[in-house]
Amino acid sequence: MTHEEIVQAVKDIIHTIAPDEEIGGLNLTDPLRDQIELDSMDFLDIVMELRKRYGVQVPEDDYKELATLQGCADYLAPHLADHELVTNA
Amino acid sequence: MSRSTHYFTGSRDGKRPSSGDALDKAKDHYDVVVVGSGLAGLTAANILGRAGHSVCVLEQHYNFGGMATWFKRRGGHVFDISLHGFPIGMKKTCRKYWGTSISDRIVQLEGVRFDNPQFQFNTTFTREDFTHKLVDVFGCASRTVEAFYETLRAMNYYDDDGRTTAELFEEFFPGRNDVHRLLMEPISYANGSTLEDPAITYGIVFSNFMSKGVYTFTGGTDLLIREMRAILARNGVDVFGRSQVDEITVEHGRVRGVRVGTREIRAETVVSNAGLKATIERLVAPDHFDDAWLDAAKQTKLNCSSTQVYMGLGPGEDLPWIADLFFTSTRPEFDSASLADLHGQSRTFSFYYPKVRPGTGRHTVVSSMNANWSDWADLSESDYAAAKARLEEDTLKALEVHVPDIRSKVTHLESSTPRSFAFYTQHTGGASFGTKFEGLRYSMELPQQIEGLYHSGSVGIIMSGWLGAANYGAITANKVDARIASLAADAAPSS
């Protein structure tokens, strides 16, 4: 996956976890929590969904890397290089 | 089939004999065995089942739900133990981990009322209304109120500064016993905490709980648990009641499974949704723990227990509108410890109007008090019966002030005590709200002691109540899912 595809993958996951939130306008650099209503439980669900869809393990100490979409892309890029984007059913 | 004369635990009221082997259909091996069917256990089981793991839930009682439970009595009475009320967050939690068939039934309570010698009013239980009460009724400065909220909102569970809740209140609202009462009383009833508990636990709970109203589940606890069981079945989770886990088996520092009587069910991972103390003191043999860790963990203190009085109104009987949740006290001043006094003066009433179970037309009232195990544990049978009779009489007298003809409407009256809670849930000391703050650490550290063994349930005050328990179930499920994934990765042949 490219950086753009990883951002899409994370947005897709956020959409399944928080379907009421408007994710179209999310920017890359502001913390996700400042842009939409995501709490710490939602981040846990993002991590679990990343594991389920892409087999990527994010250790608890690294959760903070996922605070922004850019952070997600940078952190996940080495793990997801060989994966195809899974689209929401 | 021959009928066994063996009576399962929990049979004292109904004497329904168990017949046959409750674990007849259980497999010999699962990826995950969950011990206990409280909301933490059920939620963890559902998430893990949904993720494709083989999961089984074992519950000692014939009902599921743990403290999220109900009971029925002759005459069409259905009593809920803990249905009113939980924070708004439960709606999102249920939607994510259970689906909309459950979350769509979560509705806001319409009326919450306080009545004590210091203040009497209705509240929407929202941040806006608490601000209004603190500023316009109690005369606090609005900047103080805002600063108080901000301080609470900024609190994280990992930065406990050692302050107690009483110290926090004194800092913002010095000498204002009435304000302390408003801020503390509902939370004490919700999670058993007191003014002496860490301010951090108060801050986290307040920000979740006293901000956007109080909620309930339309259809009653029985419908909730029935729906959860149907969802679990669809996700392939095996659930077995009447199955008392006697031991969590451990081999070479790693969990091996659980033993129910003479039968062992093997599992790579065990999630204990039994009480934390029961898990470490009763279910696992002590030699599997580090001695110093076990000694320290055993020092974990428990929150208080409860008494409840259940009043069922006959068919066709009406009840005037008072509130869904009514916090009452005749004590002139507030002090936290007195909420758990034997035959004390403070109690909450949960009024279950017909809207809770649409179509039934029935009303029930459940009164709750906090209570200390030590006040009830050693009473002789006759003293115990007398104490229960007094509890029921005191409660009717307190309710008569608001509903003068209540005695003529009630056709079923019954009470429970810390002994009842201990009997039905097997919680150490009949604890209704899990452990004090320090328990969270030991609950979380359990897998470092025994590989593959996790705890989930009411601990640390912040992980208690319906929302705390369900969320902790999700947190634990995430850890278990990660472990199963890494075990699978280790087992896969390297390319």
Q: Which of B51, B89, B96 sits opposite A52 (nearest CB)?
A: B51
Inform me whether the pLDDT recorded for B1 exceeds 70.
Answer: no
- Quote the minimal CA–CA distance from A5 to chain B in Å: 24
Q: How far apart are CA B432 and CA B420, in angstroms?
A: 11
Q: Is the pLDDT of residue B4 over 50?
A: no
Closest CA to B209 of B89, B352, B351, B38: B89
| pLDDT beyond 80 at B63 | yes
Beta-carbon contacts of B203 under 8 Å, excluding residues fewer than 6 positions away, are B151, B152, B153, B155, B168
Predicted pLDDT at B8: 45
Q: Do B485 and A57 touch (CB under 8 A)?
A: yes
Q: Does the beta carbon of B154 lie under 8 angstroms from any beta carbon of chain A?
A: no
Query: Which of B47, B96, B235, B495 is most worth mutating to test chain A (most A CB atoms within 10 A of its CB)?
Result: B96
Cα–Cα distance, B405 to B274 (Å, whole number) = 42
DSSP letter assigned to residue B60: S
Q: Is the pLDDT of residue B15 over 50?
A: no
B96, B485, B486: residue with CB nearest A17: B96
Q: Nearest CA of chain A to the CA of B235: how many Å?
A: 16
Describe the crossing of helices B177-191 and B199-209 by its angle, rounded to 10 degrees.
80
Does residue B488 sit at the A interface (CB-CB below 8 Å)? Answer: no
B46 CB-near residues (< 8 Å, 6+ apart): B97, B98, B228, B231, B232, B235, B237
B208: nearest CA partner in chain A: A39
Interface mutation vs chain B, best among A16, A17, A47, A51, most B CBs within 10 Å: A51
Provide the 10 A C-beta neighbour count for residue B385.
11
Kindly report the backbone phi and psi dihedral angles of residue B266, in degrees, each rounded to the nearest multiple of 5, phi listed first. -85, 150
Q: Tell me how far apart the alpha carbons of residues B109 and B355 are, in angstroms, rounded to a whole number.
A: 10
Q: How far is C-alpha A30 from the geometric centre of its chain's CA atoms?
A: 14
User: What's the token pair of residue A50?
Assistant: 């990343």
Per CB-CB distance under 8 Å, the chain A contacts of B485 are: 51, 55, 57
What residues contact residue B401 under an 8 Å CB cut-off, 6+ apart? none
Mean pLDDT of chain A, nearest integer: 93
Distance from A25 to chain B by nearest Cα, in Å?
A: 22
pLDDT tens for B28-45 read 999 999 999 999 999 999
* Domains detected in chain A: 3-80 (1.10.1200.10)
Q: Where are the beta strands (DSSP E) in B233-363?
A: 238-240, 247-251, 254-260, 263-272, 305-313, 325-329, 346-352
* Interchain contact, B481 vs A44, CB within 8 Å: no
Q: Give, to the nearest 10 degrees, the angle between helix B142-153 and helix B199-209.
A: 100
Minimum distance, in Å, between the CA of residue A47 and any CA atom of chain B: 8
Helix (H) or strand (E) holding B81: none
Q: Which tens digit of pLDDT belongs to each residue from B137-174?
A: 999 999 999 999 999 988 877 777 889 999 999 999 99
Contact B486 A48 (CB under 8 A): no
How far CA B166 is from CA of B202, B289, B347, B366, B417, in Å, comes to 10, 36, 21, 29, 28
Is residue B12 pLDDT above 60, yes or no?
Answer: no
Strand partners, B114: B121, B327
Collect all residues of chain A within an 8 Å Cβ-Cβ radius of residue B478: 44-45, 47-48
What is the pTM (predicted TM-score) of this model?
A: 0.95
Q: Mind listing the pLDDT tens digit for each residue in B114-130?
A: 999 999 999 999 999 99
Q: Which among A17, A41, A51 is the nearest to B485, CB-wise?
A: A51
pLDDT of residue B320: 96
B443: closest CA among B280, B248, B253? Answer: B280
Is B244's pLDDT higher than 80? yes
Tell me the pLDDT band of B419, cut-offs 50, 70 and 90. very high
pLDDT for B205 equals: 92
Range B40-65 average pLDDT? 97
- Quote the crossing angle between the two packed helices B89-97 and B465-491, to the nearest 10°: 30
Query: Is B474 part of the contact surface with chain A (CB cutoff 8 Å)?
Result: yes
A-B CB pairs within 8 A amount to: 28
Nearest chain A residue to B488, by CA: A55
Contacting residues of B for A44, CB less than 8 Å apart: 474-475, 478
Average pLDDT, chain B: 94
- Tally of CB atoms within 10 A around B321: 10
Q: Which residue of B has its CA nearest to A14?
A: B96
The dihedrals phi and psi of B171, each to the nearest 5 degrees, come to -65, -45
Where are the strands (E) in B39-134, listed by range? 55-58, 70-73, 77-80, 106-108, 112-115, 120-123
Q: What is the pLDDT of residues B272-284, one digit of tens each?
A: 999 999 999 999 9
For B206, phi and psi rounded to 5 degrees? -60, -45
User: In Å, how far are B23, B47, B391, B475 from B54, measured between CA atoms?
Assistant: 16, 11, 46, 18
Which tokens in the block code for residue B50?
Answer: 């949904």
pLDDT (tens digit per residue) in B126-144: 999 999 999 999 999 999 9
CB atoms inside a 10 Å sphere around CB B52: 13
**With an 8 Å Cβ cutoff, is B96 touching chain A?**
yes
Q: Does B487 touch chain A (CB under 8 A)?
A: no
Range B371-385 average pLDDT: 97
Looking at per-residue pLDDT, the higher value among B8 and B163 belongs to B163
Report chain A residues touching chain B, CB-CB < 8 A.
Answer: 17, 39, 41, 44-45, 47-48, 51-52, 55, 57
B492 pLDDT more than 90: no
Cross-chain CB nearest to B482 (options A39, A41, A51): A51
| CB atoms inside a 10 Å sphere around CB B487 | 14
Please judge whether A57 and B486 are an interchain contact, meaning their C-beta atoms are less than 8 angstroms apart.
yes
Q: What is the three-class DSSP state of B201?
A: helix
**Cα of B92 vs its chain's centroid, Å:** 18
Give the orientation angle of helix B165-172 with respect to helix B177-191, to 10 degrees: 150
Question: What ipTM score was computed for the predicted complex, to two decimals?
Answer: 0.91
Sign (positive/negative) of CA torsion B33, B253, B475, B459? positive
The residue of chain A with its CA nearest to that of B100 is A19
H or E, element range at B68: none
User: Which one of A37, A48, A62 would you mutate to disrupt binding with B, by most B Cβ within 10 Å of its Cβ?
Assistant: A48
Distance CA B143, CA B129 (A): 15
E strands in B164-229:
215-217
**Residue B294 near chain A (CB below 8 Å):** no
Query: Strands B77-80, B70-73: parallel, antiparallel or unpaired by DSSP?
Result: antiparallel
The half-sphere exposure of B482 on its side-chain side, counting CA atoms within 13 A, is 19
CA distance B259 to chain A (A): 30
CA distance A65 to chain B (A): 18
What is the C-alpha separation between B473 and B228, in angstroms, rounded?
A: 14
